[in-house]
């Protein structure tokens, strides 16, 4: 029987045993793997960690909302390229992003793509240009809704994850465009400082496009963060983590099911963990404090990251920016789509080599601490910013929304639903602009699902176990345990929440900024592509 997300989340299954994640069981026949490269046999820490380039605007253009206001304009191309993932591997075909510059008509493509640096309240325009081939190099399942045979193989639309943006710029999954076309998005950036990220969001093939390499970082800054004197400049580094599988030719090897006509698989776990696009990289650091902006960009893997004992690590932020105060952290746990803002103090480690590890002490990357460095004037403040709690009494509506997996051994692929309805059914969630709601995520499955809401930020209220069998029989929720408050690392503003199996996870949010159509979905990309995603409409005040 396949490992459940509960088993994997709490420590079952090593990276090298990725095939075991797809054994025959509740989700059908065992998938057929092409010959897989054993990346664990490669030399570790022989490649330096790449730092994504900073995207630069090439012009200014009028704001869509105020023609008298000129906004920075970027043109970002999506293109196929070859990447050197490891010193001892052949170049790997990937898809990536590149920023066209004032000096060059063609962009230098990379995966992850270039990092955006912007400030709260300072909007910008991005033209996302699809310059990819017309044929996909990963296996499309035409039984998936939105990926039928009458759809073009290669389609893209970019979502800026965590951004408060107008609906036409949000990357709605059906607003895809084909090679040779582009779309301009307006990002007002009217939100607090935070690390956001951008990635493909095309309906039915999102999992393939992201696996191919279409992701990158977008950082918003503000005056409140500036005043804290945190590590900055070359001492602030993004770490984008995601797992991949490679074949013996060092090419991306996306797993498929045992049915050639229905290749979708429920989850993908690779034996190779990449950091900023490199396998087992190293980073040379000084014996001082560093700020790392960590993203879980994996399709389905949960990360549990830890440095050796004695290393001082403080978590200072989460998805939507800074916490109210720093937390001492023994490990950093991230579901797909989640981010963590951490400060690591290497000051007592001069001359040492330190390894960042994931579950089962598996190496991810190495830090090489120099014997000396520049003077460190940065601080870890005792307080970071106010994070006022949203009162439950402020909510004008509470919605109980089910997370469902229906496993019919005849009908494939497995049916995965939110609120027990399909993507193309009428919208059932219509929050009113500037209203507050509580959403109870009723997880009837064996998996933990990272649920992401577009447009809004929210706070986690609690998690509480319930009787799943009684729920399906009566439609009523019978709680079987006390409400459990969120972990301290989850106590700030979030946009992605881990909904644990057989539990009701409650979040509270205010729907503000824009009216229009958005989506909420599971951020395990294989689930999202298989209808575990639903639209919602923010409607005007009547």
Flag whether pLDDT at 335 surpasses 70: yes
Burial class, 66, CB count within 10 angstroms (exposed 0-12 / middle 13-18 / buried 19+): exposed
Q: Which two tokens mark 317?
A: 């932020």
151-193 pLDDT tens trace: 999 999 999 999 999 999 999 999 999 999 999 999 999 999 9
347-403 pLDDT tens trace: 999 999 999 999 878 999 999 999 999 999 999 999 999 999 999 999 999 999 999
225-252 pLDDT tens trace: 999 999 999 999 999 999 999 999 999 9
Flag whether pLDDT at 32 surpasses 60: no
461-504 pLDDT tens trace: 999 999 999 999 999 999 999 999 999 999 999 999 999 999 99
Say what the pLDDT of residue 413 is: 67
Cα–Cα distances (Å) from 436 to 111, 264, 430, in that order, read: 38, 37, 12
Average model confidence (pLDDT) across the chain: 92
Say what the pLDDT of residue 409 is: 60
Kindly indicate the confidence band of residue 455, based on its pLDDT and cuts at 50, 70 and 90.
very high
Which domains are delineated in the chain? 48-224 (2.60.40.420), 392-538 (2.60.40.420)
Flag whether pLDDT at 11 surpasses 50: no
Paired with 314 in beta bridges are 328, 343
Say what the pLDDT of residue 371 is: 96
- Length, in residues, of the chain: 542
Say what the pLDDT of residue 408 is: 65
Say what the pLDDT of residue 105 is: 67
Inter-residue long-range contacts of 405-409, CB under 8 Å, 24+ positions, other chains counted: 405/444, 405/445, 405/446, 405/447, 407/26, 407/27, 409/28
Say what the pLDDT of residue 309 is: 87
Return the sign of the alpha-carbon dihedral for residues 486, 502, 528, 269.
Answer: positive
Say what the pLDDT of residue 542 is: 86
CB proximity list for 291: less than 8 A, separation 6 or greater: 230, 231, 232, 235, 236, 237, 316, 341, 342, 343, 378
Q: Which two tokens mark 478?
A: 């019978």
∠ CA 500-318-380, nearest 5°, is: 135
State how far the Cα of 305 lies from the Cα of 302, in Å rounded to an integer. Answer: 10
User: Within 124-261, where are the H helices?
Assistant: 206-212, 223-226
Flag whether pLDDT at 33 surpasses 90: no
Kindly indicate the confidence band of residue 411, based on its pLDDT and cuts at 50, 70 and 90.
low
Kindly indicate the confidence band of residue 258, based on its pLDDT and cuts at 50, 70 and 90.
confident
Q: Which candidate, 452, 455, 462, places its Cα nearest to that of 490?
A: 462
Q: Which two tokens mark 257?
A: 């099911």
DSSP track, 444-467: -SSS-EEEEESS--EEEEEEEEB-
Kindly indicate the confidence band of residue 456, based on its pLDDT and cuts at 50, 70 and 90.
very high
């Amino acid at each position: 029987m396949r490992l459940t997300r509960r088993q994997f989340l709490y420590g079952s299954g090593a990276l090298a045993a990725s095939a075991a994640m797809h054994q025959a069981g509740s989700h059908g026949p065992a998938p057929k793997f092409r010959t897989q490269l054993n990346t664990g046999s490669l030399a570790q820490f022989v490649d330096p960690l790449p730092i994504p380039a900073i995207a630069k605007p090439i012009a200014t253009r009028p704001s869509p909302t105020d023609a008298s206001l000129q906004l920075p304009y970027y043109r970002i191309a999506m293109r196929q390229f070859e990447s050197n993932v490891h010193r001892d591997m052949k170049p790997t075909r990937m898809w990536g992003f590149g920023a066209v510059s004032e000096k060059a008509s063609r962009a230098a493509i990379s995966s992850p793509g270039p990092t955006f640096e912007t400030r709260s309240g300072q909007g910008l325009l991005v033209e996302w240009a699809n310059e990819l081939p017309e044929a996909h190099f990963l296996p499309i399942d035409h039984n998936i809704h939105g990926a039928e045979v009458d759809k073009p193989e290669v389609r893209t639309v970019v979502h800026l994850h965590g951004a408060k943006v107008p609906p036409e710029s949000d990357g709605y999954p059906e607003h895809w465009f084909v090679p040779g076309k582009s779309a301009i998005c307006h990002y007002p950036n009217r939100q607090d400082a935070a690390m956001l990220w951008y990635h493909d969001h095309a309906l039915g093939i999102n999992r393939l496009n992201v696996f191919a390499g279409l992701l990158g970082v977008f950082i918003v800054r503000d005056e409140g963060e500036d005043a804290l004197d945190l590590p900055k400049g070359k001492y602030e580094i993004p770490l984008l983590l995601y797992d991949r599988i490679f074949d013996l030719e060092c090419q991306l090897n996306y797993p498929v099911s045992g049915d050639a006509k229905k290749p979708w698989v429920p989850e993908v776990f690779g034996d190779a963990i990449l950091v900023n696009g490199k396998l087992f990289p190293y980073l040379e650091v000084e014996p001082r404090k560093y700020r790392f902006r960590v993203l879980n960009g994996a399709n389905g893997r949960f990360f549990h990251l830890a440095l050796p004992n004695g290393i001082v690590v403080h978590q200072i932020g989460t998805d939507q920016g800074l916490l109210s105060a720093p937390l001492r952290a023994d490990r950093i746990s991230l579901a797909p789509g989640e981010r963590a803002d951490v400060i690591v103090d290497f000051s007592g480690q001069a001359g040492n080599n330190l390894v960042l590890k994931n579950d089962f002490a598996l190496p991810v990357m190495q830090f090489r601490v120099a014997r000396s460095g520049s003077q460190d004037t940065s601080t870890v403040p005792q307080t970071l910013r106010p994070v006022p709690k949203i009162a439950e009494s402020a909510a004008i509506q509470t919605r109980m929304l089910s997370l469902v997996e229906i496993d019919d051994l005849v009908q494939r692929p497995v049916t995965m639903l939110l609120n027990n309805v399909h993507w193309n059914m009428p919208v059932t969630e219509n929050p009113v602009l500037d209203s507050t709601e509580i959403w109870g995520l009723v997880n009837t499955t064996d998996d933990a699902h990272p649920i992401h809401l577009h447009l809004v930020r929210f706070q986690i209220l609690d998690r509480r176990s319930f009787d799943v069998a009684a729920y399906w029989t009566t439609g009523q929720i019978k709680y079987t345990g006390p409400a459990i408050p969120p972990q301290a690392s989850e106590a700030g503003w979030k946009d992605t929440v881990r909904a644990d199996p057989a539990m009701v996870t409650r979040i509270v949010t205010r729907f503000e900024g824009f009216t229009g159509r958005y989506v909420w979905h599971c951020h395990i990309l294989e689930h999202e592509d298989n209808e575990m995603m639903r639209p919602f409409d923010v409607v005007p005040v009547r």
